[in-house]
Amino acid sequence: MQTVALDHGWRVRERTDDLATTYWRSDLDDSDWADTVVPGQWATTPGIAPGGGPKAYRLGFSLPPIGRDRRARVRARGVFYYAHYWLDDAYLGDRHGYFLPHEVDATAALRASGDHVLAIEVECPTQTDRTAKTIVTGVFSHWDAIDPEFNPGGIWQPVDVVVTGPAYLAYTTVQCRKVSPAAARLAVRIGIDSDAERRCRVELTLREAGSGDVADARTQEVDLVEGVTGVELALAVSQPRLWWPHKLGDQPLYVLEATLTGLDGEQWDRAERTTGLRELTVDDWTFSVNGERMFVRGANHAPTRMALVDASAEASLADVRLAKDANLDLLRVHAHVAQDHLYDAADREGLLLWQDFPLQWGYSRRIRKDAVAQARELVRTRGHHPSIALWCCHNEPLAVEITDVAEMSGWQAARAAASLLAPSWNKNRLDPALRRAFEDEDPTRFCDEKSGELPSPWSGGTDTHMYCGWYVGEMRHFGRLAGSFPALTRFVSEFGAQALPRTELLEAMGCGQWPDIDWDLLSERHSAQPSLLHRYVDPDDHGDLASYVDATQRYQGELLKYHIELLRRSKYAPTGGFALFQFADAYPAVTWSILDADREPKLGYRYVRDACADVIVCAQWPAATYAPGEQVALDLYVVSDLRRPLHDLELEASLGASTHRYRGEVDADSTAHAGRFTAPAPPAPGTYRLELSLCDSGGSALATNSYDVEVG
C-alpha cells in the first residue's frame, strides 16, 4: 500500500459557464488561476469568493506508472459538499457528503503515464428553502449559532492517491459486543473491494496500545466477488482492560490492525482502528457503563471552529479538557460531525460523546435514501471510538422555517410547538429509516430517533428541550413543569440562556459604544437575540457595557444552576442526565455558550462547574421575593455521584441571624433529602444570602452553596 499526498500546487477558479466544458482538460492553460491551499474552505481562503460555488480546482502531479497488479484511487477525505472528479481528461465520477471520504477509481490513468492533471469541481449550495433542505450538513447550513452568511464549501480535508493490490479494504469497523472483567468479545466488519473474483487472506491483530502486547489474532481466507465483499470476524480478549468515563476509571485503548494479503503472502492493503473495550447501555435514558449506572452531566458542543478546517487537534483536546474541568461527563456533538481528533481526544480523556447525525430542522423528501447511506458510513468511519455513547438521527425535526425564534409571532410560535407534537414526513418517515440504519450497522449503541420531541398520545417522546427563562416564561416555570409532568425530565438535552461575551470581544465584533450598541449587527451576524436579552436583563438598569455583560452572564449562570440542581435532585427518578445548551462558540458570537470563541469563560462556566461537582448541597430555590418577617421554608438536599456512601455528614444552613444544622448520610450515587430549613425573613428590605455548607465527620468541607433571598 502506498499513499501519496496531493498537498501542494493547487489552483482554483470560479467554475463559470464558459469553463464547464474545459476546466478538466489536461491541456488547459490555468496559469492565470489563483493559487490556493488544500485543505481549505472558501470562507477563510483568500482569493476565493465565499459563495456556494461551483468552484474548479486543478493540480498537476507526477507519479511513476503503477503495475498491472496494482489498483489506485483518488481519495478526498472531506469535501463540502458535491464534487465531480476528472483525471487526465477522463471522468472518474461524482461524490457528495462532507464528513465522508470521497474515493474514485483512478487505476487506468495511473497505469498509463507518470504525469497527471487532477480536476475537481466542488459545489456547496445555499439552502434557500430551509423547511426542505437537500444536503446533509446540519448546523453548517442552518443554525442560530453560526453566521447565516457563512458557507462551508471547499475541500476541507487532505487529498491523496492511494495505491493498493488488486483488492483493498473499503471499510473496517470494530464493535465491542460483550464485555465483563473476565472476557470481551469484539465483532470486526470488513468490506473488501476487488476488481475480480479471487481468493485472499485477512489477518486481524488486536494489541494493547502502548505496550503492543497481542490480545488476540485471527487469520481467515476469503473468496471475493467483483465489487465489495462483506466479512464479519470475531475476536476475544481474556482479562480485558476496560475503558471507562473519566469519573469512573481509566481509558486503556487497543489497536486493531487489519491486513489484506494475497495467498502468496504479498500485502495488498492495511488499516488500523483504535478502540476501547466497554459496554454502554441506555435504558429509559439512564446510562450504564460496564454495568455501572451513572448520572450524565453534559453540554451541547458546537463545531470547534465555524470553518472546520481551522479546528486543530490542540483546540479539540483543549475543549475536551475544559469540559472535564467543568465536571462534565459528556459533550453532545450538536448536529454535525467533527474533525477526527475530537473523537481521539475524547477516547484518551474519557469524555463521552453524544453523536448527532447532521440533520437539523426540516428536510426534503428526496433526501431519505442519501441520508440513510450516509448514516451507515458514519458508523463505519467513527463507530470504533469508545467515547461515542449513542447516535441521534435528527435534532428537532420541525416542519416550519427557523429564522429568528425570538421574533416569532404568536402564530409562528404555536406552529413551531405544534410541529414538535404533530406527525410529519421528517418525524414519521425519515427519522425511523435512519434509526433502522444505525441499529443495523451498530447494535451495540442506543439510537435516539429524534431529539426534542415532546411526549404526545402517538409518541412516547424522547429527550426534551426546555427553555424556561429564555423562550418560555421564567426559569422557575421549569420546576412547575417538572413537578406536573415528570416525563419531561427523563433527559433534558437542551436548556440555557444567551449571555454576552467579554467586552473586548464584543468591541472586536463592531458592536459600537454604550449605550448605542449595534444590536442589529449582533443579531444579523453574531447570533444575538436582543429582544430576549433585554426581556430578562434590562439594559436600562446598567450604566456601561461591562456592567450589562456581567448581568447577562450572571442571569445565564443562575438559570443553568437552577436547572442543573433540579435535575440532579431527581436523579434516576426519573432523570438520567442532561446536556445544557451550549458549551463553546464556533465563532465570535452572542450565544448560549459558557465559553466564548477564544475559550474565555463566562461566569456561567463557574456556575456549571460548581453545580456539576461530584458532591453538591442545594436547596429548593427561594421564592422571587419575601415580605419582611415572612416564613422562609426550603427543602435541603445532598446529591452525590461518588461510588461510595458518605456517613456522619453535617449540613449548616444560615440566613441572617438564623442558623440550623442537620446530620445524616447519603448513599453511593444517590440523592438525600437533608431536612427543611425554616426561618423568618430578615426584618429589613434587601438582598440576603442563604449559605449552605456540608462537612464530613472530621470537619472537612465537602461542598458549599448560596442563594440570594430578596426581602422587600
pLDDT at position 163 is 97
Element (H, E) at 105: strand 102-105
The CATH-assigned architecture of domain 2-164 is Sandwich (2.60)
> What confidence tier does 412 reach under pLDDT thresholds 50, 70, 90?
low
> What confidence tier does 283 reach under pLDDT thresholds 50, 70, 90?
very high
pLDDT at position 423 is 81
pLDDT at position 698 is 86
Cα-flanking dihedrals φ and ψ of residue 650, to 5°? -125, 125
> What confidence tier does 403 reach under pLDDT thresholds 50, 70, 90?
low
Across the strands, what pairs with 73?
A: 105, 162
- 288-300 pLDDT per residue, tens: 999 999 999 999 9
Cα-flanking dihedrals φ and ψ of residue 299, to 5°? -150, 150
pLDDT at position 256 is 98
For residue 405, the SS3 value is helix
Integer Cα distance of 254 and 256 in angstroms? 7
- 455-470 pLDDT per residue, tens: 766 666 689 999 999 9
> What confidence tier does 271 reach under pLDDT thresholds 50, 70, 90?
very high
- 671-704 pLDDT per residue, tens: 999 999 999 999 999 999 999 999 998 889 999 9
Mean pLDDT of 227-250: 97
Query: Would you list the DSSP string of 222-240?
Result: EEEPSEEEEEEEEEEEES-
pLDDT at position 457 is 62
β-pair type (198-208, 254-261): antiparallel
pLDDT at position 462 is 86
For residue 528, the SS3 value is coil
Integer Cα distance of 635 and 619 in angstroms? 6
pLDDT at position 400 is 66
| Residue in this structure with the C-alpha cell 417522546, named with its chain if needed | 461
Residues with Cβ within 8 Å of 591's Cβ and at least 6 positions away in sequence, in order, are 145, 302, 498, 527, 582, 585
pLDDT at position 414 is 64
Tally of CB atoms within 10 A around 95: 18
In the sheet that holds 491-494, the strands lie side by side as: 446-448, 388-392, 352-356, 330-333, 296-301, 577-580, 491-494, 464-465
The answer to whether residue 404 scores a pLDDT higher than 80 is no
Domain covering 618-711, topology: Immunoglobulin-like (2.60.40)
pLDDT at position 108 is 94
> What confidence tier does 88 reach under pLDDT thresholds 50, 70, 90?
very high
Q: In the chain, what percentage of residues exceed pLDDT 90?
A: 91
For residue 536, the SS3 value is helix
Mean pLDDT of 338-345: 97
Element (H, E) at 169: strand 167-179
Element (H, E) at 435: helix 431-441
For residue 29, the SS3 value is coil
Write down the CATH number for the domain with range 280-500+543-613.
3.20.20.80
Angle among Cα 50, 54, 56 to the nearest 5 degrees reads 100
- Amino acid identity for residue 690 in this structure: L
> What confidence tier does 303 reach under pLDDT thresholds 50, 70, 90?
very high
Say whether 280-500+543-613 and 2-164 share the same fold: no
Q: Classify the phi-psi angles of 596: left when phi > 0, otherwise alpha if psi is within -120 to 50, otherwise beta.
A: beta
pLDDT at position 405 is 56
Residues with Cβ within 8 Å of 187's Cβ and at least 6 positions away in sequence, in order, are 174, 175, 177, 232, 233, 234
Min mean pLDDT across 38-47, 189-198, 205-214 is at: 38-47
Asked if residue 515 has a cis previous peptide bond (ω within 30° of 0), the answer is: yes
pLDDT at position 63 is 94
**Residues 705 and 611: beta-carbon distance below 8 Å:** no
Integer Cα distance of 147 and 289 in angstroms? 38
pLDDT at position 458 is 62
Tally of CB atoms within 10 A around 487: 12
CATH number of the domain at 167-275, out of 3.90.1720.10, 2.60.40.10, 2.40.10.120, 1.10.1050.10? 2.60.40.10
- Amino acid identity for residue 81 in this structure: Y
Query: Would you list the DSSP string of 93-111?
Result: EEEE-SSS-EEEE-HHHHH
Cα-flanking dihedrals φ and ψ of residue 90, to 5°? -105, 135
Grid cell in block for residue 297: 452531566
- 416-456 pLDDT per residue, tens: 666 667 788 999 999 999 999 999 999 999 999 999 987 76
Integer Cα distance of 400 and 131 in angstroms? 6
Chain-wide mean pLDDT for the chain? 94
Where in the chain are the domains? 2-164, 167-275, 280-500+543-613, 618-711
Min mean pLDDT across 144-148, 434-438, 456-460, 617-621 is at: 456-460
Across the strands, what pairs with 229?
A: 192
pLDDT at position 454 is 78
> What confidence tier does 91 reach under pLDDT thresholds 50, 70, 90?
very high
Residue 47 half-sphere exposure, CB side, CA atoms within 13 Å? 11
